[in-house]
Structures are given as structure tokens and as C-alpha cells.
Amino acid sequence: MKKKVFVISHSHWDREWYMGYEHHHMRLVQLMDDLLDLFKRDPEFNSFHLDGQTIILDDYLQVRPEREAEVRALVEQGKLRVGPFYILQDDFLISGEANARDMLIGNQDSKKWGKPVDLGYFPDTFGNMGQTAQMLKLADLKYAAFGRGVKPTGLNNQVFDNEKYTSQYSEMWWKGPDDSKVLSILFANWYSNGNEIPVDKDAAKKYWAEKLADAEKYASTDNLLMMNGVDHEPVQQDVIEALKVAQELYPDYEFIHSNFDDYLAAVAESIPEDLGSVDGELTSQETDGWYTLANTASSRVYLKQANTKVERQLENIAEPLATMAYDQEKADYPHDQLRYAWKTLLQNNPHDSICGCSVDEVHREMMTRFEKSQEVGQFVAKEALDTISSQIDTTIFPDDSKPFVLINTNGYKKSELKTVEIEWDRALFADGRPDAQFEKMKAVEQALPALEVVNSKGERVPFNLIGTEVRFGYDLPKTKFRIPYMALYVTVQVNMTMPAFAWETLALIKADSEQLPSEEPTIFDETNNVLENDYLKVTVKHDGSLDILDKKTNHEYNDQLILEDTGDIGNEYIYRQSADQKTILSSDSPAVVKVISNDTLGAEIALIQTMDLPVSADERLAYEQQAVIDITNRVANRSEKTVPVTFTTTITMSKDSDQLNFETSFNNKVKDHRVRVLFKTDLKADKHTAESIYEVVERSNKVNETWQNPTNPQHEQAFVNIHDDKNGVTVGNFGLNEYEILPEDNTIAITLLRCTGEMGDWGYFETPEAQCLGEYSGKYSLSFHDGSDESRIDSYQKARSNQVEIQAVQTGVHSGKRKPVDAFITLKADNLAVTSLKQAEDGQKNVLRGYNLTNKEATVESNILTKAETVNFLEEEIADRDVKVLRPAEIRSYRF
């Protein structure tokens, strides 16, 4: 039987990368024009694979709307192969929910055109998430294809040929932590192994002798895959003629211009019994470590922070609030607005975009997309908050009180020292000149009576009066013209502990008497520089580092919170420390402690430290960049010239929380460097855990024997954790997606900022804005546990919920159908990390999604279970699932 050579024409389309979006966009229009004309001219041209992403059609038809009918006909005929994703995302730097929405929206858009390709397509993803198999099954996809993670891929997509790196075959089973598996194809010779096929016979003979041998080296069946295209490659116009020449030269093979559906079907029918498998995440763990591209997690950190901000706004604020606010039968849920916001966000999620490894103009445009998506999310959230609060019965409060509603939109209980701003009084512009109304409110401010906060039972709630302010405001009524005014605002703090998806109504009222000072001690002991509550005792040392006693375990952690600065002579893809190995630590100089606030409910202090940092790398780096010297061969040092850089780190401790919150701010005045914060654990552990995509992944603290990179950077979502049998440390973050475990003392190192001046990869592209000069801040948290499953999982959940503040909205005194204190749903499932609460796509029911934080079976208790069914990402029912039992590492979606 002849071996079959399946030649698939395609072009891997990075929407933006080494040029701005519109430069690539116009080339896409040219490619699609040529492709559509080729289909007319050559009926033997079987099909073209549109890179697995439906957005290509949107981009093309923006410019060529008159060709929509042609495109639709070609998709229906199977000539244009579309989907199944909306965009080709980076797995690790976007949330699990963003990955799922890419699959959902891609499926919906694909079906508007025709049948989506039955293939999870990850040709150039910078490492692959461990839950891919389960996620593809939940998206009704049977196969996967990927280019990275098993073999190393270096400069200009060079695939290294080294036996200790290779997989058994280019086909394999890919298993997930829940034991799901999918048949997967590795582009063992990259996704360009059939590119630019010669028509000339002499050239073709040489070409095919090499290409066939390369493919046969790894193929497990007689079906060989040739990918006819590469990054931004124009369609090969004479590929059919070239295949006829190949057929003539190699009659023992059958050359087929084909598509993935036919190729995968042929492979599936003939896979050998000894087909190997790979497990979990594929991040090039068994390579030399230089080209994992994990350092893209710290390139242009501001992008990751903006992405996290918008994800939390859509996933954890806007959608849950809208779900709580609107009944299905009234069809008020803002499906279209949220879909628009999601698509806008997803346009920032391709790997060259969110990874921060493109030219400056690309990332400037990204920030505008983030802002657009964020604004939609804020609009949806405000509308929903107003709807919910207007339906709450607040008649329990005095007529002249100022009720306000606090809502926990997290899927886990949350404690927070919440700051709330309340409008106390207003003066309309319609009733007087703006300046007169301003003075009127200033007079009200001067005569402000004693105040107190009460709950719906009339009980006093401890609070802090933070301050008052008079300023301009306006309303935008839905039925009449805008209403400008001056208003007096009062800002208070209350300590809240709230269940998942719950609300509580409080009110600011006039007090009968002045609030007496509390007899409880304040949180910060200014004499001894000690922060202390019932859970933690934190001693600030003269060098700014912390000694922390975990009172639950009586274990002390020393030398916490040290800032580290090192040189970086790499690029946006890869960190490379300067050859001088110069490291500068904040603990090398004294710190100044400043008290920001300190009372019985909480305290916030600032540590101020100045470090003298080299202004940049030395002159050697400019030569190495311009000469396109691979970063593994660079020898530049840091400059001898230094400038002082002042770092301010705020530490916040609240009375009722066992979690510390930090924010480090500084004006970055230097280039070519990396800043990290270090938490030394000294715990005896060989492995650690981190939140990844719908899983808590366990990773080794040490590298394999083939590893040559001096560093071992890793990706994280909301947290990283290390523990032994008795103690554990969990470090949370907000948009800080890179960490490293330093194996000498199991220090957790979180990257705050990494600054470099070039893109990297296949040429020299200057990126001065990747130096991230200017004001910067990064937020992170720290908590401790006793090493048990229960306390460890609690620390995971708190790190996740720490990314989402309790929401607050002011309302009036009115009757309503909702109770002052209640929950949208009740949920008791500590092992379930809730990622989404939304209305179903058909508007008929709601969907609650989350994942099992452990590799053990877990139970779920909720008032929704009696009417719930288990569904997939496409919101189709999955049979034979016990709604009360979570399988190990399961991603679970409830429709109720």
C-alpha cells in the first residue's frame, strides 16, 4: 500500500507581531484576495486551512464586504476550512474562562459559516496547558495539533534535531490530569515542513528526498503530514502543479492536496498499538530550557495587569451581577454587550499580543482594546448594581439614612476591609450657579453631624470615617437629559466577611452621639514596628525585610519581602542575566517606615527603600542586538553608571484576615533589568503547586539533567504555593504571571517588572517601550497554612478571591422584593474554584462553572443542584454525571 502524503495549504496568521495590526491586516486582504481568485482559477485546489481562527474572516470582510457571498460559498463547499477558535490564544497568560470563551465564540462564529474544523489547533502556542484534553472534549473537539512543548524550537522557528528531545512519534495520546485524552499531532518538523514546494524536477527531487525522510522519521502511520505554509505566507499558487511533479518523481507515494479532517480520519484509522502518550502541560520541560518562552510572562507586565483587570471585570463582576440582576423571562441580560466585550478582550489574547513580544505599536493598540472592553464591563456592572439595589427592601432604615449594598461576586467566602464612598447630599445646577452650589455643599460638610453605620437589624457596625469631599457629579437618566450637580461624599471603611454570591445592606445614618474611641489595640505597634492580629505577627526589620509568625502553626518565616534587581540582556521572549551576574538587594540598605493608616480594623504602612541601579546594560548589548546574536551567546554587562530608584511597598493587614496584601510602586528610570520580590520559605519540599488553566498544577522545584538555562521561570494565574506536611506559603498576585522557585532555600520569586529594548526572535526589532520606563506598581499577597489539604485549599481560594473586591452601590430607602441580606445561590464546595456565573447563551437558564482544585474526588452542596444539569463549554448536556460529585481535576459547568 502506498504511503499517503497529505499536503495542507495554510498560512499561520499572527494578526499583529513584528509590524502593527493594520500592516498585517492589509497583507491578509492580499492573501485572501489571491486565495479566492485561486479557487476560481484552479478547481483542483482542494482547500485552505484558515489557521483555526474565525477572526480572519471578520478581518478580511471589514475591507472586502462585497466578497462575503464568495467566502460563505467556499466555506459551505469545504474549500475554506474555518475554526474552531475565535483567535489563536496564548494558553497560559489568559484565564481558563478566556480560553473557554475563545472556544465557545469560535464555535458559534464557525457555525454561522459552516462546519468548524474538528481540531484544537495550537501551532505556535508558547507551551501548552495541561487541561487541553479535557477542555477540547468540553468543546466537542476530538483532536489536537501543536508545535511546541515536546521538542525545542529556537531562533526563527528552528526545530532542533536531538534524540534526547524527541517524542516517540509525531502522533501521540495527550492525557490530562482528569484522565481525559485526545489523539494529538506534533508538528515535529514545524508547521512549515511542506512549504514552497518546487515545480522544477531537480529541485523537487532534492526537496522531497529530505522532506519525506524527515516526516517518516516520526510518523507512526503511513499517513504523512506536509504543512504548505508558514507565518504570513502567501498561498502557493502552483501547489497543484508541484504535487503532480512530486507524484511523477515518487510513484510509491500518493500525494494529496488535502485538509485536516481527511488527514486526521486517516491517522485515527491506522494508529499503532504502541502509540505513546504525553501527560499534562507541555512546556519543553525536557529541553535545555532556553526556548520555553516562559519569560514572555514578564514581558511588558502592564499588559498582563490590564488583561487580569478586564478578565476580573467581565468574569467575576459584570457577568455575576448581571446574572443576579435579570430574570430570564424578561430577556434583560446584556448578551450582546458582553459578547462584544469578550471579543474585544480576546483580540488581545493571541500569543504575540498578550505575551508582550511584538513591536511597540502593537501593544499601544492593545491598551485601547483593554480600555474598551473594561468600559463595557463597567457599564454592565453599574446597570446590574442599580437594578439589584433598587429591588432590595431598605425600609428597615430611617428615612434620612443612606443605605448601601455590598455584594460578594466571588464564588467563595470573602473577608475585606472595604472602602465605600457615599453621597450624603447634593445641590443641582438647575437650582443655582455651580459655584454657589459648591459653596452650599461645603457648608453642609462643615456642619456634618456625627455618623454611624448600622446593619439591617439596627445594630452598629464598626467603621472608620476616612474623609469627606465636595465635587462635581452628574446623572444620566434613561428618559431625560443629563442632571449635573455638586455633591458631598463621605468615605467610610467597614470590615466585611461575606459568603459566595451574597449581599448585605448597611446604612450610614446620623448618630445619636459621637462614636467613642475603641479600647482595642491598633493593628500596628509603631514603637516596635510590628503589625499584629489574631493570625499573624509581622516584624519590620531595619532593612525592610519582614519576620512573620504564623500564629496558627507557631512557625516563623524570616527575611520575607526582599526586592531583587538584576540585569537583563535578553529580549521580550527570553530573560538573560548580564554577564557580570550583578544582583542588587533591597536588604542591602535601610528602610523608612511610614504609617498611612492605623486603627482597630486594620493598618497600612509603607516601606520606603532606595536602591542604586545601573542605568542600563553597557554598550556591548547594542552591538549584540544589532548583530542578532542569539541570547545564549551574549556577554554584555551592566553599566557602571547608576541612578537612585526609590521603591515604596505598602503592607496592609486587616483585623479579621490571615492574608497580607502588598503593593510595590516605583518610578522605573533604568533599562535592561528585572525586578523581583523574594519570599524565602526554607521549607523542605521537592515540588510546589501553582494555579494554571483550570487546574492547580504540581511542578518540580528542580530542573532535568538536560537543562542549561540558569533560570527556571514558570507561569502562574492567581497564586503559587509551596508546603511541607506542617507548614505552607501561598503567594497571590494580580497580573504578575511569572515566578521562579529558587531551589537553595525554596524561595518564591515573583517578577514585578522586566525591561528590555528589543523584540527578539528572527531579526532585530527595537522596542523602546518594552523598557517600561515611568511609574509602575504591582500588587501581590501572602498567606500561610498548616500544610493540610483543607487549609492549603483555603489559601488558594483566598488568593483567587483577593483579585476581586467586594462591590458596593448606594441606594435609597424603598420597598423591594429582595431581602436586605441574602445570597443569589448557596454554595458549599471548598474544592470548587468558581470561574464563571453567567446566563446561558440561549437565555433560558444560568451557568455556573468552576474546577476541582485537587486531584481527589470532592462533593458539592448547593441549592441549585436539584434543578441543575452538567453541561460542556458549548452548554450542551453531558450525561451520566452526578451533580453532587466532582471528579478529580474536573472542570464542571452547571446549567440551572
- Give the residue numbers annotated as catalytic, written as ranges: 124
Task: Say how far apart CA 81 and CA 263 lie, in whole Å.
Answer: 13
Please list the alpha-helical segments (H only) found in 88-200. Answer: 96-113, 132-138
| Alpha-carbon torsion, ordered 833, 837, 841, 845, to 10 deg | 110
Q: Phi and psi at residue 795, in whole multiples of 5°?
A: -65, -35
What burial letters (b/e) apply to 778-815, b meaning 16+ CB within 10 Å?
A: bbbbbbbbbbeeebbbbbbbbbbbbbbbbbbbbbebee
Q: Kind of pairing, strands 483-498 and 807-810? A: unpaired
Q: What is the DSSP string of 298-340?
A: GBTHHHHHHHHHHHIIIIIIIHHHHHHH--GGGT-S-HHHHHH
What burial letters (b/e) apply to 188-225, b meaning 16+ CB within 10 Å?
A: bbbbbbbbebbeeeeebeebbeebbebbeebbbbbbbb
Q: Among candidates 151, 152, 187, which has minimal Cα distance to 167?
A: 151
Task: Decide: residue 632, CB within 10 A, 0-12 exposed, 13-18 middle, 19+ buried.
Answer: middle
Place of cell 556577554: 635
Beta-carbon count within 10 A of 350 CB: 25
List Cα–Cα distances, 816 to 339, 389, 396, 642, in angstroms.
31, 9, 11, 64
The size of the chain, in residues, is 896
3-class secondary-structure state, position 626? helix
Contact 100, 278 (CB under 8 A): no
Q: Which three cell numbers stand for residue 518?
A: 475603641
Q: Among candidates 294, 302, 311, 291, which has minimal Cα distance to 94?
A: 311
Q: Which three cell numbers stand for residue 216?
A: 517518516
Task: Say how far apart CA 167 and CA 606 lie, in whole Å.
Answer: 52
Q: Phi and psi at residue 859, in whole multiples of 5°?
A: -110, 155
Q: What is the DSSP string of 483-514?
A: EEEEEEEEEEEEEEEE-TTEEEEEEEEE-SSP
Task: Say how far apart CA 604 and CA 650 lie, in whole Å.
Answer: 7
Beta-carbon count within 10 A of 823 CB: 18
Q: What is the DSSP string of 244-286?
A: HHHHHH-TTEEEEE--HHHHHHHHHTS--TT--EEES-BS-TT
| CA atoms within a 13 Å half-sphere pointing along the CA-CB vector of 864 | 23
Contact 339, 322 (CB under 8 A): no
Task: Say how far apart CA 343 and CA 356 lie, in whole Å.
Answer: 19
β-bridge mates for residue 454, sequence order: 460, 507
Task: Say how far apart CA 562 and CA 608 lie, in whole Å.
Answer: 12
Q: Among candidates 377, 315, 341, 378, which has minimal Cα distance to 836?
A: 315
Q: Which three cell numbers stand for residue 38?
A: 485561486
Task: Decide: residue 701, CB within 10 A, 0-12 exposed, 13-18 middle, 19+ buried.
Answer: middle
Q: Which three cell numbers stand for residue 678?
A: 523574594
